[in-house]
A and B are shown apart, each in its own frame.
Chain A
Amino acid sequence: MKMKKLVSGLLVGAMTLSLVACGSADSGAASTGSTASTDTASSSASASTDTAAEATTPSGDKLVIWTLAKDLEDFGARYQEQTGVTVETVVIEPANYPTKVQTAIMGGETEPDIIVGEPQMLGDFFENGFFANLDELGAKDFEGQIVDYVWKVGQDADGVQRAISYQITPAGIYYRRDIAQEVFGTDDPEAIGAKFADYPTILTTAQELKDAGYRIFASDSEINYFSGDSAWVVNDTLNVDDARFAYMDLVCDLYQKDLTAYANQWSTPWYQAMSGEVPILTAEIQNYEDDSVNVWDAEQFAEATKDLEKTEVFAFGLPSWGVLTMRDNVGDTAGKWGVCAGPAYGFGGGTYIGISNLSERKELAWDFVKFCTLNEETADWWIEHSQGDTVSLISALDKHAEDANETYGGEHLYSFWLEQAKGIDYSKVTKYDTAIGDAWGAAISSIKTGQSTKEDALALFYDTVASTYPELTVNR
């Protein structure tokens, strides 16, 4: 009898919840009625997006997008509005997107027409043949219309175009104009850029700022995006350029000479530094040796650090999408920021759109790829719609070159990012970068904190690379 109670309890629970579902869900109510096991195009079209319901003359064409960035949902809705093609966008979480695509395409799935990838995923995707050849569909005709490095990222090892991105993500230094004016007597991006021209100069700049009572960076990871001025691997040989060592020395100096506020990137004080004064933590707090201060708790943090010296942070180093992150976090300092070039060119992230090799609607899918990446009108709309994302279409960037961004003191950011993007040399990017970069970062942090000597840390770095990639020659 207890079993009966249990089963009826479960059933009642299920019913109550589905009632709740019906009651509160206005758009879901329609689909709640149809049982989930019916697998018809009509029910899927009505429930997938709001715009799907008001589809203009259904031409019978359909396009399925599997994406890891929600952006494409907006692109898809707009494409459907303009062409009448039913667009179905499935958003999958970035961390598991490769698993999903890999399983599906290796399993012979023909459903997705459009698949996407971030730069670090693309190498594997291309090698496994997931992305269709866009050159066969006519991509060659559009060469030169897209910012060069983006075009190259979308090419496989043989130079065949397989994906294109609608955005560029070059890195820049975001700095406080008011502090620049006070310390350096100018807030001109060119002049401030000169203060970040190379690693030794940054160290001097950091010292100048410290003498004036400020800190150059909140964390010592801010120049990470600008550390890739040489390729990690040349001719199957590990290549540790002199600049890498200069970068290592700079990070160690920033840390050991108290030149940052010792915040960790993406932690509470790091965000706080965007909007004004923050306490200067100690190295021990940053690496959690001293746990008297909880950097993740604002109240405790304020209490525990009230005796510490306060400072304001001068600069952050982030890719162009940082424009949006900063805008949401700068608070009262909005308008006092500027953006200038860093010590090297670099980029981070970006969504690349391609066509699944198993798609049965490649022509239509290619039309969609062109719509997202090569259509000036779409680019205009996207700049407006995303409130400041940086597109990859050169003509659109030129058109918006004079757009002033008020958070950044009216700076013309689009022309700036275009200049930065032009400097990126994609031939320096290899598929080994993530793993080797991580190992190098680990070496740097163990040296700067004094956990191990430089020799030991470097030996460990070489060992790690040699064991991760046995095919590489490692000259120590």
Chain B
Amino acid sequence: MGHSIGYNVKKALVYIALVVLALACMLPFALMLVNATRTGAEISRSFTFIPGHALKENWNILFDYFNIFVGMRNSLLVAVPATALGAYFSALTAYGLAFYKFKGNKVIFGAILVFMMIPGQLSLIGFYQLCTKLHLVNSYIPLIVPAIAAPGTVFFLRQYTLSALPPSLIEAARIDGAPELYSFHRIVLPILSPGIATMAIMGFIGNWNNYLLPMIILTKNEKFTLPVMMATLRASIDVARNQGATYLAVAISVVPILLVFVFFSKYIISSISAGAVKG
């Protein structure tokens, strides 16, 4: 029996609001899927949730432009190592900044904060020249290696380390004679894994969707990552005709992100409280 009418009304209202919000979030996805089955002319003429019949046609237009699976493979070749390296080295840096006392610690941390605020696009031409000199144009190295330096991730993980990692754990390991790297790998990494997973998912999405740098650095069709390939759908005389194919490409390209998210969302959920508890 328990709850009063007021409580039930409130609860119903909250649920209605949540359902509305959930629908609002899902509508664009549904629309994307529906539009992937309609022709460009239909899409520009009207708007509906009833699927069309042009899936095959869109597929053919899409594959006439490029092979989306090659793009996916290329994007994975960039995004996976970049994410893994970025997550590992950011955790290492964050741990160092949080737990070791040395001269210049604060200066380095300050510098990292400053670098967070500089947009990377500024140094584009210089970066390209550097890559030309090092013969790295049209290779994935300039896309992967710089991802190691991720100031935002370091900042987040440093704060997370301070709140989640009790110093006594490390001290105990030292007393037992564990080398520093060993204790990082066996003690720090597992404890930080919710935070790392959160940043890794963010990093993966960021790398997966990264457009500007691959567009500048890569100059061969078969090396293009997915976003660069998909953008070429807009290079037609009549852009409207490719709209269905564009939707189809986007629909296919979000699949890996969804997979990554499904696999690791439990880490994200367990780390939503990250930073909330001050250890």
Question: Taking beta carbons and an 8 Å cutoff, which residues of A are in contact with B?
Answer: 1-3, 6-7, 9-11, 13-14, 17-18, 20-21, 24-25, 27-28, 31-32, 36-37, 39, 43-44, 47-49, 64, 66-71, 88-96, 99-100, 102-104, 106-109, 111-112, 266, 268, 271-272, 294, 296-299, 301, 321, 324-325, 328-329, 386, 389
Contact = CB atoms under 8 A, between A and B. Distances in A.
B40, B189, B220 — which one has the most chain A CB atoms within 10 A of its CB?
A: B220
A32 B67 CA distance: 11
Given A70-B235, A94-B234, A329 B138 contact: no
Nearest to B241: A328
A44 B222 contact: yes
B273 interface: no
Give the interface SS of chain A, mostly helix, strand, loop or mixed. helix
Given A37-B140, A96-B215, 9 more contacts: A3-B190, A20-B72, A90-B219, A93-B228, A102-B125, A109-B137, A111-B137, A328-B240, A329-B45
23 contacts: A6-B196, A10-B80, A17-B72, A21-B72, A25-B69, A28-B70, A36-B73, A39-B139, A44-B220, A64-B219, A67-B235, A69-B236, A92-B228, A93-B234, A99-B216, A103-B124, A104-B216, A106-B128, A109-B132, A109-B137, A111-B219, A271-B41, A329-B44
**9 closest A-B pairs (Cβ-Cβ)?**
A298-B46, A93-B231, A107-B128, A47-B222, A21-B69, A297-B47, A28-B67, A28-B70, A91-B232
Interface residues of B, number: 60
B79 to A, nearest CB: 9
Given A69-B237, A103-B124, A271 B44 contact: yes
A21 B98 CA distance: 42
B17 interface: no
Nearest to B65: A70
Contacts of A271: 41, 44-45
A46 to B, nearest CB: 9
A112 B220 CA distance: 11
A36 B140 contact: yes
Given A21-B69, A329-B45, A14 B76 contact: yes
A339 B114 CA distance: 60
B46 A92 contact: no
Nearest to B189: A3
Contacts of A111: 137, 219
A70 B67 contact: no
Interface string B217-254: 00111110000100110111110110000000000000
A44 B221 CA distance: 8
Which of B73, B80, B212 has most A Cβ within 10 Å?
B73
Interface stretch (B8-16, B172-180, B256-264): B256-264
B48 interface: yes
Contact of B125 (A17, A94, A107, A268): A107
A20 B263 CA distance: 18
B41 to A, nearest CB: 5
B84 A108 contact: no
Contacts of A301: 46
Given A14-B76, A28-B69, A37-B139, A92 B235 contact: yes
A31 B124 CA distance: 30
Interface residues of chain B: helix, strand, loop or mixed (majority): helix
B227 to A, nearest CB: 10
B228 to A, nearest CB: 8
B253 to A, nearest CB: 11
Contact of A36 (B74, B128, B129, B238): B74
A124 B184 CA distance: 53
B183 interface: no
B70 A90 contact: no
Contact of B70 (A13, A31, A298): A31
Contacts of B197: 6
B128 A104 contact: yes
A17 B231 contact: no
B193 interface: yes
A21 B70 contact: yes
B200 interface: yes
Nearest to B133: A108
B216 A103 contact: yes
Given A106-B125, A108-B132, A321 B73 contact: no
Contacts of A107: 125, 128-129, 131-132
A268 B47 contact: yes
Contacts of B70: 21, 25, 28, 31-32, 47
B76 A25 contact: no
B77 interface: yes
B179 to A, nearest CB: 18
B111 to A, nearest CB: 27
Given A96-B215, A271-B45, A6 B129 contact: no
Contacts of B264: 6, 9
A13 B263 contact: yes
Given A96-B231, A299-B47, A17 B256 contact: yes
